[in-house]
Amino acid sequence: MKKVLAIILGGGAGTRLYPLTKLRAKPAVPLAGKYRLIDIPVSNCINSEIYKIYVLTQFNSASLNRHLSHAYNFSGFYEGFVEVLAAQQTPQSSNWFQGTADAVRQYLSLFQEWDTSEYLILSGDHLYRMDYSKFIQRHRETNADITIAVVPMDEKHASAFGLMKMDRAGRILSFSEKPKGEALQSMRVDTTLLGLTPEGARQKPYIASMGIYVFKPEVLVDLLEKFPTQTDFGKEIIPAAATTHNIQAYLFDGYWEDIGTIEAFYEANLALTKHPQPPFSFYDEKAPIYTRGRSLPPSKIQNCQITDSMIGEGCIIKDSQIYHSVLGIRTQIEAGCTIEDTLIMGADYYQTHTKPESVPIGIGANTIIRRVIVDKNARIGSNVELINKQQIEEADQSERGFYIKSGIIVILKNATIPDGTVV
């Protein structure tokens, strides 16, 4: 694995995760009370003994840079690094990244400086745990030009992914990116090829790409140079190569969630509170998820009723009821509050002084919060009700400090919600 170079694609503007991406790059969005999305692929790389890791991004990358520099400092005894590469103007290109393939193309000369046996291309907004060494071993055993990680997919979600057909040896015969209508139906396959039972194959009749690829270096260079105007791997490069190259499928049979939308992000976070078997667990000692180390005190919980919840470090919670929620680091909740089905991302610092008339960081007394995402450093006053009283599905209330997405209230980072507000 020492000769594998990992390239994590940070994504574009993150419009589907907006407003969480208003002030940060998508990979920097907080996750599970103390992590960031970028920690997932980086930790998978480290656990797979892959230590050369580039992260490509172009939007709001300051917080991502800060997090990675604090979290991942490898020793000087081997060539290990986690480095952010932002879009830049060069003599070859004056444009920002136009897509996944274009992002890799713009930094190809840098990647080629390394003595590399494979390029491992990853996405920065998925929640899963994978041993990439097994993925790369499959690539080597089949002498593949490209290997794509795949999962079986149901009818409801299939059109959101790249779909493929393959033979019994696992070779991919055709690839179609996000097909609709008749094109979607034409991509139905017998997924017992992947080892599914007949019943499982009926429920999941599609083979979907996870957006994770292994390339032979010379193949990647050749394809990017051969098709200089093609900007996306899934839409253009992979389908074009399907008929001319040995493209293999690697079945991933663990938990995997594309958390690119507000609803998926919200559901994935709250699913972590399930016990004893959440769909994804941060409690695996053999393959831990790493993040920035913080010297925070233990959480202080005074006379509270808390069920099915996760509480980050450094929280102070007074005389409140917390149900099925995730509370991030430094969350402060005053007495008499009810927090239900909610993700609170916490705060970047403790507020030591406040003006008497101002709303402090945290949740004020006697406030009810239900089905909400509260971004970092938000100030929610006393006697507030955030319950989506009118059952609104979509709304832009940014002037008041929040949006409603898929029926979920999203409080903006640094927003202030005054005392007595009812939403």
- The string of pLDDT tens digits covering residues 298-340 is 999 999 999 999 999 999 999 999 999 999 999 999 999 999 9
Return the minimum-mean-pLDDT range out of 131-140, 254-263, 313-322, 399-408: 254-263
Identify whether the C-beta of residue 358 lies closer than 8 Å to the C-beta of residue 342: no
Work out the percent of the chain whose per-residue pLDDT is above 90: 65
Give the β-pairing of 343-344 and 372-374.
Answer: parallel
Identify whether the C-beta of residue 66 lies closer than 8 Å to the C-beta of residue 40: no
Residue 316 has which token pair? 């102070």
Predicted pLDDT of residue 124: 87
Read off the pLDDT band of 91 (50, 70, 90).
Answer: low
Q: Of 106-110, 282-286, 325-329, which has the strongest mean pLDDT?
A: 325-329
Residue 378's nearest CA partner among 367, 392, 390 is 367
pLDDT, average across residues 171-197: 88
Residues 6+ apart with CB under 8 A from 320: 304, 305, 333, 334, 335, 336, 337, 338, 339
Predicted pLDDT of residue 236: 87
What end-to-end distance do the CA atoms of the chain give, in Å?
52
In b/e form, how buried is each residue of 200-224, taking b as 16+ CB within 10 angstroms? ebeebbbbbbbbbbbbbbebbbebb
Q: What is the pTM of this model?
A: 0.92
Residue 64's nearest CA partner among 14, 6, 105, 101 is 14
Spatial distance between the Cα atoms of 104 and 8, rounded to a whole number of angstroms: 10
Spatial distance between the Cα atoms of 173 and 385, rounded to a whole number of angstroms: 54
Residue 165's nearest CA partner among 194, 145, 142 is 194
CA diameter of the chain: 70
- Residue with the bigger pLDDT between 287 and 235: it is 287
Residue 211 has which token pair? 């957006």
pLDDT, average across residues 342-360: 88
Identify whether the C-beta of residue 47 lies closer than 8 Å to the C-beta of residue 53: no
Number of other residues whose CB lies within 10 A of the CB of residue 116:
17
92 pLDDT more than 70: no
Would you call the peptide bond into 27 cis, given omega within 30 degrees of 0 as the criterion? no
Residue 258 has which token pair? 């594309």
88 pLDDT more than 70: no
394 pLDDT more than 60: yes
Identify whether the C-beta of residue 376 lies closer than 8 Å to the C-beta of residue 346: yes
Predicted pLDDT of residue 13: 66
Residues 6+ apart with CB under 8 A from 199: none
95 pLDDT more than 90: no
Spatial distance between the Cα atoms of 214 and 222, rounded to a whole number of angstroms: 15
321-323 sheet: strands from edge to edge: 305-307, 321-323, 338-340, 368-370, 385-386
Predicted pLDDT of residue 186: 92
Spatial distance between the Cα atoms of 238 and 228, rounded to a whole number of angstroms: 14
Give 113: exposed, middle or buried? Use CB within 10 Å, 0-12, 13-18, 19+: exposed
113 pLDDT more than 90: yes
Spatial distance between the Cα atoms of 322 and 413, rounded to a whole number of angstroms: 22
